[in-house]
Amino acid sequence: MWHLMKPTVTKEQVPLLFHEPHVLSGFRHLNQPWSYYFLSLFQVHNECLNSWTHLIALILIIKKMFTFSMEVDLITDPYMWPLTSGILSIIILYLCSSLAHCLQSRSELAHYTCFMFDYAGIGLYGTGSIVLHYNYCMLPTYKLGALREWAITIGIGLGVVVCMCCSISKIRYKRPYPFVRKVWQLGSVGGIYAWLILPIAHRVFLFVISSQWDQGLPHHMEQMVWFLVAGFFFGSDIPQRFFPGKFDFVGHSHQLFHI
């Protein structure tokens, strides 16, 4: 099977659709057997780490799920169902993203199809996070607590919006993509994030105004910081913007966004 592998090529040798901003080399060949793209997980190219970052995360979250299953009943205990659904949404996100980056180079159809699955995974992950936060993280003093019964319904709607906005912007705009495309993406993801983070923001607000501390706050605040950092790298194309071709294989912004 290894004889199927071919040296990577420069961006001039692949269609415009497959170009990435300020990435000049490390592109895989088009129209190869599916085995070529799966085996490319073990080849150095500009999408390799984008697949492996989420494959490693997938392995870690499955391991974590089994750890939880030894401590609590994830299947028959209703109190654990939000945790189970949240973990499953994370698994689906990582799987969709890893496969998208692994397989998208085969053809134009594969490219669009893979990333639409990726966008669906993002929307589902956002919904899973809403399930977790509104079931486990919402304080009794949260004034929007009455919306709890609608939280998941609203979350599903916002998840669909994420998938639609990202998919439409993918089809509507051609490379080099204008900045407005990222507005479509970041705006829709930001919308679902704003909804899922409200119970956490309430807890942070109580700490700021009245020093109401709880043990979960450091984890939540760290998560919020990482979300902002990830959004920065996703939207900025830094560092490769300033050093075109220097971060083709390791260190470009989408890899940092994944991490």
Q: Read out DSSP for 119-150? A: HHHHHHHHHHHHHHHHHHT--TT-TTGGGHHH
Provide the 8-state DSSP code for 24: -
Cβ(245)–Cβ(24) below 8 Å? yes
Ligand-binding site membership of 254 (annotated): yes
Domain 11-258, CATH class in plain words: mainly alpha
Q: Are 243 and 251 in contact (CB under 8 A)?
A: no
* Residues of the chain under the 70 pLDDT cut: 1-4, 144-146
Domain limits, the chain: 11-258
258 is in an annotated binding site: yes
Residue 202 is assigned to a ligand binding site: no
- The structure tokens 């028959």 sit at 76
Return the DSSP state at 85. Answer: H
| Alpha helices (runs of H) in the chain, residue ranges in sequence order | 34-39, 48-71, 81-103, 108-136, 148-172, 179-210, 217-236, 253-258
User: CB count, 10 Å around CB of 182?
Assistant: 17
DSSP state of 178: P
Handedness of CA 212, 218, 224, 225 (dihedral sign): positive
Q: What is the pLDDT of residue 99?
A: 97
